[in-house]
Copies of this chain bind each other. A is one copy, B any other.
Amino acid sequence: MATGRTHRLPTRSRGIPEATVARLPLYLRALTALSERSVPTVSSEELAAAAGVNSAKLRKDFSYLGSYGTRGVGYDVEYLVYQISRELGLTQDWPVVIVGIGNLGAALANYGGFASRGFRVAALIDADPAMAGKPVAGIAVQHTDELESIISDNGVSIGVIATPAGAAQQVCERLVAAGVTSILNFAPTVLSVPDGVDVRKVDLSIELQILAFHEQRKAGEEAAQDAAQAGATAPAPARPGRVLPDPAARPTTAGATTGPAPAAATAPVTSADVRDNQGPDGDVPAVMPA
C-alpha cells in the first residue's frame, strides 16, 4: 500500500508555476548561446524568438524570478544566465546514476550534454554480471548489487532508468529506498513512487504516436478536402498500408461473433491486479508476477 498514487495535489512550489519551470532551461540555453557570442543584453522580443515562445510569456516567466530587466533596454545576458541557473539549482553539482547500460544507457553515458549543465555521471549500473567492470564512456560499469552503496556514498538524488520495462519498477523502488528522490524514466512504464519523489518520463513511442495522430489528421483533411469524390488514389506517394482487421464490430455484451468467454471465466481483473501491472510495450513479453 501507499506506494502508488501520483497524487499531484497543489504542489505549489512557492511561486513559480510548473509551466514556467519547464521553460527556464529553454531560456537558459538561448542565453548561453548569446553569452558565448558576448552579447551583453537582449530584449524579451529577441530572446523569445530564440527560445520559440511568446514574448509576453517570457516576460511573465521572468517576473516570477524577480525584476531583472531594464526598461527600454532589455535583460543583461550574463546576469540572467546566473539567475536562472541559480533558480534551477544548476549552481551546484548533481551526481546522477544511470541504471541499465544497454543501447540507450550507453548512449546517455556518452552524452556530453550532462556535464555541461552541472550534472555529473556518478556511476553506471547494470544487472548483467558480464558488464561489470567494463568501461563505458570512461566509467566502469558497476553491478546492481552495489546500487545502494553507490547512491549512499555519492549522495545521489537523481537517477536515470534505462532498463527494460519489466525491470523498471523494481529498479525504481530500489533507487527510492536508497535515497533517490528524482527519477528520469526511459522505460515505457508507469512508475509508482511514494509522495515526495518526482518522476519524469521520456517515451519515444508516445511521441511517435502523437505525431502519427496529427499526420493522419493532416492526410485525412487533405483527402477529404480535395477528393471527397475521387478514388482512394492520393496525390502524394501512396503509403504502404497494412491495415488491422476490425476485431469485431461493437461487442454487444452477450458474446456475438467474437467469443470472449462469458465474463467470469477469464479472470475479471481486480484493482490490485491492474495497479501492479506495468504494461509492457513490446519490449518484453512481460508476464508480471501477481
Interface, chain A (partner B; CB < 8 A): 4, 6, 13-14, 21-22, 24-26, 28-30, 32-34, 36-42, 45-47, 49-52, 68, 70, 73, 76, 78-79, 81-82, 85-96, 103-104, 106-108, 110-119, 152-153, 155, 157-158, 179, 181-184, 188, 190, 192, 196, 198, 200, 202-218, 236-244, 246-248, 250-251, 253, 258, 260-261, 263, 266-271, 273-275, 277-283, 285-287
What chain B residues lie within 8 Å of A106 (beta carbons)?
103, 107
Q: How far is the CA of A206 from the CA of B37 in the complex (A)?
A: 22
Min CB distance A14 to B, Å, is 7
| Distance to closest chain B CB from A148 (angstroms) | 12
Instruction: Please judge, given known A-B contacts A204-B111, A205-B117, A248-B78, whether A41 and B263 are in contact too, CB under 8 Å.
Output: yes
Answer whether A206 and B92 are a contact pair too, CB < 8 Å, given A13-B217, A42-B269.
no
Q: Are B78 and A215 in contact (CB under 8 A)?
A: no
Query: How long is the Cα–Cα vector from A37 to B73 in the complex, in angstroms?
Result: 63
B283 close to A112 (CB less than 8 A): yes
Tell whether, in the assembled complex, residue A260 and residue B78 are in contact, meaning their CB atoms are under 8 Å apart: yes
B184 touching A211, Cβ below 8 Å: yes
Given A206-B25, A208-B184, A274-B47, A213 and B107 touching (CB < 8 A)? Answer: no
Interface centre among A13, A79, A86 (most CB of B within 10 A): A79
- Whether A209 contacts B117 by the Cβ 8 Å rule is yes
A40 touches B263 (CB 8 A): yes
Q: Which of B50, B204, B209 contacts A90 (CB 8 A)?
A: B209
Contact of A215 among B34, B107, B157, B277 (CB under 8 A): B157
- Shortest beta-carbon distance from A105 to chain B in Å: 9
Cα A230 to Cα B76 with chains together (Å):
36
In the complex formed, the residue of B with least CB distance to A79 is B251
Residues of chain B within 8 A of A239, CB atoms compared: 92-95, 155, 157
- From B79, B96, B287, contact of A250 by CB (8 A): B79
- The residue that A6 contacts in the complex, of B33, B52, B269, with Cβ under 8 A, is B52
Assuming the contacts A208-B117, A215-B182, A244-B91, asked whether A50 and B112 have C-beta atoms less than 8 A apart, the reply is: no
Residues of B within 8 A of A108 (CB): 204
B-chain residues with CB within 8 Å of residue A115 when the two chains form the complex: 282
Q: Determine if A89 and B212 form an interchain contact, defined as CB atoms under 8 angstroms apart.
A: yes
In the bound complex, what is the Cα–Cα distance between A261 and B47 (angstroms)? 20
Tell whether, in the assembled complex, residue A76 and residue B251 are in contact, meaning their CB atoms are under 8 Å apart. Answer: yes
Q: Are A271 and B210 neighbours in the complex by a CB distance under 8 Å?
A: no
Docked Cα-Cα span, A21 to B34, in Å, equals 36
| Contact status B207-A279, CB under 8 Å | no
Establish whether residues B40 and A261, one from each chain, have CB atoms under 8 Å apart when the complex forms: yes
For the complex, what is the distance from the CA of A136 to the CA of B79, rounded to whole Å? 45
